[in-house]
């Protein structure tokens, strides 16, 4: 959309930008990119997830430039992402090959391979500390931690809890799908969508929006109370096809690993069996996102199951309602555009109101 600048607009904009820099620097230069990357891990992971770009370095730079605003940092990251060439597509990344750091199940106390609490705020006291931590103290603590025999890494590969349920016939098994996934960053979505599109939009959705809709769903606007079958955080290896040609996966090239949070949620549903009888069965909801982003991944799994449901009574099960309202850049951009000049349109509405009042008087 176009806006006509008012007189003095350029000078005012330059002054606003200068004032913005002044506000950023007046208490000091702020944290460095390295310190943001090191000390704001959760925010870095959130921005990478919403940007669909896995780069801790770029995310930290965006957060620093945005003065800690996640929505502005995501905007910067997506703009940067649009300038990058897409060199090739990776092979299918298998979470079964994840190098697990954290793995819990709310459904079973004992799971094959055991539960690994790993790094999490879930077990800490929520008390604010105003103590400053020096670099020397941090290095000393790390050295002591690594010297501790209990700080050994977990096993590289662990079985999936859902596979255990399927082996007992408690969960349905589905044949693998070779359908080519659609990339929503390359083409506009059309309704109805495929599951690949829905999952991609949810994983890059705004964390607060996805969480809020997931919360609304379990409060009564969708699914019954779900249970986390398995939540795992770890690094998944990424391979690309052999540049010299050939489709043999054994010749694929390892290019690195990506840290992700993966959640599989069991959702009870009432299934009619005829003659007025119904039984409870479990359906699976799936969530995955970059970094350690557990609340969002759980909420995503709840919404995934709801959008797969044939019951469309609630807005959290309406794909157009959910998918069109969780994107950070779209939502922020549309709300923020209200700050821009609307002089002509508002004056037109004001004139209509005045004329209506005059005609009644």
d(CA 113, CA 98) in angstroms, rounded, equals 13
Q: Reduce the secondary structure of the chain to three states and give it as a string.
A: CCCCCCCCHHHHHHHHHHHHHHHHHCCCCCCCHHHHHHHCHHHHHHHHHHHCCCCHHHHHHHHHHCCCCHHHHHHHHHHHHCCCCCCCCCCCCCHHHCEEEEEECCCCCCCCCCCECCCCCCCCCCCCCCCCCCHHHHHHHHHHHHHCCCCCCCCCCCCCHHHHHHHCCCCCCCCCCCCCCCCCCCCCCCCCCCHHHHHHHHHCECHHHHHHHHHHHHCCCCCCCCEEEEEEEEEEEEEECCCCCCCCHHHCEEEEEEEEEEEEEEEEEEEEEECCEEEEEEEEEEEEEECCCHHHHHHHHHHHHHHHCCCCCCHHHCHHHHHCCCEHHHHHHHHHHHHCCCHHHHHHHHHHHHHHHHHHC
Measured torsion, CA atoms of residues 197, 230, 256, 258, in degrees rounded to the nearest 10:
60
54-75 pLDDT tens trace: 999 999 999 999 999 999 999 9
* Token pair belonging to 252: 């694929």
Domain borders along the chain are: 9-81, 95-326
Q: In a structure prediction context, what are the per-residue pLDDT tens digits for the chain, which is 361 residues long? A: 444 444 557 888 899 999 999 998 898 888 899 999 999 999 999 999 999 999 999 999 999 999 999 999 999 999 999 999 988 889 989 999 999 999 999 999 999 889 999 999 999 998 998 888 888 998 998 888 888 866 666 666 888 988 888 887 777 777 878 888 889 998 888 999 999 999 999 999 999 999 999 999 999 887 778 999 999 999 999 999 988 877 677 889 999 999 999 999 998 887 777 777 877 788 899 999 999 999 999 999 999 999 998 888 899 999 999 999 999 999 999 999 898 888 889 999 999 999 999 888 7
């Amino acid at each position: 959309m176009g806006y006509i600048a008012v007189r003095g607009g350029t000078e005012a904009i330059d002054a606003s930008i200068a004032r913005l820099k002044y506000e950023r620097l007046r208490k000091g230069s702020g944290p460095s990119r390295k310190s943001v990357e090191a000390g704001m891990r959760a925010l870095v992971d959130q921005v990478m997830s919403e940007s669909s770009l896995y780069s801790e370095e770029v995310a930290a730079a965006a957060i620093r430039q945005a003065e800690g605003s996640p929505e502005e940092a995501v905007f910067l990251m997506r703009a940067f992402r649009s300038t990058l060439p897409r060199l090739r597509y990776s092979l299918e990344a298998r979470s079964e090959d994840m190098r697990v750091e954290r793995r819990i199940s709310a459904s079973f106390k004992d799971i094959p391979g055991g539960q690994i609490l790993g790094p999490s705020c879930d077990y800490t006291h929520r008390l604010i500390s105003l103590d400053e931590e020096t670099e020397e103290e941090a290095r000393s603590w790390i050295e002591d931690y690594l010297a501790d025999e209990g700080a050994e890494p977990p096993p590289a590969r662990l079985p999936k809890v859902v596979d255990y349920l399927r082996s007992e016939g408690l969960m349905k098994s589905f044949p693998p799908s070779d359908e080519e996934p659609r990339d929503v960053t390359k083409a506009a979505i059309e309704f109805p969508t495929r599951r690949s599109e829905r999952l991609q939009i949810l994983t890059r959705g705004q964390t607060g929006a996805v969480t809020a809709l997931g919360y609304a769903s379990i409060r009564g606007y969708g699914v019954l109370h779900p249970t986390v079958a398995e939540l795992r955080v770890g690094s998944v290896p990424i391979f690309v096809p052999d540049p010299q040609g050939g489709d043999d996966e054994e010749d694929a090239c390892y290019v690195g690993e990506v840290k992700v949070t993966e959640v599989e949620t069991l959702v009870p549903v009432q299934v009619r069996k005829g003659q007025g009888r119904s039984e409870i069965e479990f359906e699976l909801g799936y969530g995955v996102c970059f970094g350690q982003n557990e609340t969002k991944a759980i909420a995503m799994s709840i919404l995934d199951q709801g959008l797969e449901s044939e019951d469309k009574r609630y807005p959290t099960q309406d794909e157009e309602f959910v998918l069109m309202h969780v994107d950070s850049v779209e939502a922020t951009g549309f709300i923020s555009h209200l700050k821009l000049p609307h002089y002509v349109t508002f004056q037109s509405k004001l004139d209509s109101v005045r004329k209506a009042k005059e005609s009644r008087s």
